[in-house]
Amino acid sequence: MTTYGQVAAAAGFPGAARLTVRALQGERGLPWHRVVGAGGRIALHGMEGEEQRLRLALEGIKFRGRRVRMDLHGWIPRAPARPSETPR
């Protein structure tokens, strides 16, 4: 489990959590349900949010109230290493 903000930061766009949401919305085949809002909050509304919660519960993800237990299931992606500058 990771958050939209953590994915954005790892991609080199810190502060662009909403961009991550939009990128995941239209993509097929990505594990979209494993990305949540800050603090483990299910940020999707209505049936989409219920589907996300159900998918996570079926995978054995634990919740505290309406939030994912990020202390148990959290993962922080690392940004890829920047290529070193070529010496002249």
CATH of the domain at 59: 1.10.10.10
What range does the domain containing 23 cover?
2-73
User: What is the count of structural domains for the chain?
Assistant: 1
Residue 40 exposed, middle or buried by CB count within 10 Å (0-12, 13-18, 19+): buried
Distance from C-alpha of 30 to C-alpha of 41, rounded to nearest angstrom: 19
What's the CA gap between 17 and 9, in Å, rounded? Answer: 8
Query: Is the pLDDT reported for residue 71 higher than 80?
Result: yes
Q: Is residue 42 part of a domain?
A: yes
pTM for the model stands at: 0.80
Tens of pLDDT along 16-65?
998 888 888 777 788 889 999 999 999 989 998 999 999 999 999 999 99
Is residue 80 a part of any domain in this protein?
A: no
Maximum separation of any 2 CA atoms in the chain, in Å: 57
pLDDT interval class at 84 (50, 70, 90): low
Residue 86 forms part of a structural domain? no
